[in-house]
Amino acid sequence: MPTLRYSSIYFPVFMVLWLGLFLDSSMVAEHILFNQWATNFLVLICFVWVYLRVTAKIKKLMLYGVALALIGEVIFSIFLGMYEYRLENVPIYVPLGHSLIYAAVFYIQKENIIQRNKARVISILYWAMIGYSSLWLLFDQDVFGFLCTLVIVLLLRKQTGNELFFLIMFFMVVYLELLGTYYQCWFWPDTWFGKVPFIASSNPPSGISVFYFGFDIGCLWMYKKLNRQKWNRMKIFRQIRSS
């Protein structure tokens, strides 16, 4: 079996995110009817492409992720009104996209150059995250985004060994959110949930990836529960390798 090139996983995801969100933009919608379906089809093709190339474990995590993302989107967007999509729906491409982002981040962190400089990369991304969120707070009064970033900082202090994954996820979400809001595929209200006037928010909030962290943890929890024997074997192997 040929060696997997990690870029064959994450590079198509970067490109499809950009092209798909452009196709679903309000600008394209002025000229093409049902343009969102073009994005749905494009992201579905990318999902299948990635799914066929990843490990069995990531395949399962991607499927769990689609289910969790759909539930989360319905709750946070439709019922709670935390943000709103252009057509006031939950586009088909969104839950698929969540799983694609998960897979992309997983393989970005495995690149040799990142692993060889892991501590330095973590430090750079950590301070870049704080700087990015602080600038949004300073120049756009993004209180909500800054509070979300503070929660991320507290989570990272637990030293779980997943700091690199979560920091890469932070900036992957920054890329996604800046594209999606720029193309007006969705928007965030100027206060938290549009109902808490003393917690101002940017469009997008800078630290909103904290909710993706919950998504990541949820996927892993489902994997543990539904694949208990494999998970236990993996823990034993890690203990032997570290001893």
pLDDT of residue 195: 82
Question: Residue 208 and residue 146: Cα distance in Å, rounded?
Answer: 9
Phi, psi of 197 (to 5 degrees): -65, -25
Q: Distance between CA atoms of 44 and 36, rounded to whole angstroms? A: 12
The residue whose two tokens read 């694609």 is: 100
Alpha carbon of residue 10 to chain centroid:
13
Find the helix or strand (DSSP H, E) in which 198 lies.
strand 196-200
* pLDDT tens profile 59-75: 999 999 999 999 999 99
Which pLDDT value is given to residue 1?
38
Per the model's pLDDT, the better-predicted residue between 237 and 112 turns out to be 112
Instruction: Say yes or no to pLDDT of 41 above 90.
Output: yes
CA distance 112 to 125: 17
Average pLDDT of the residues in 180-197: 92
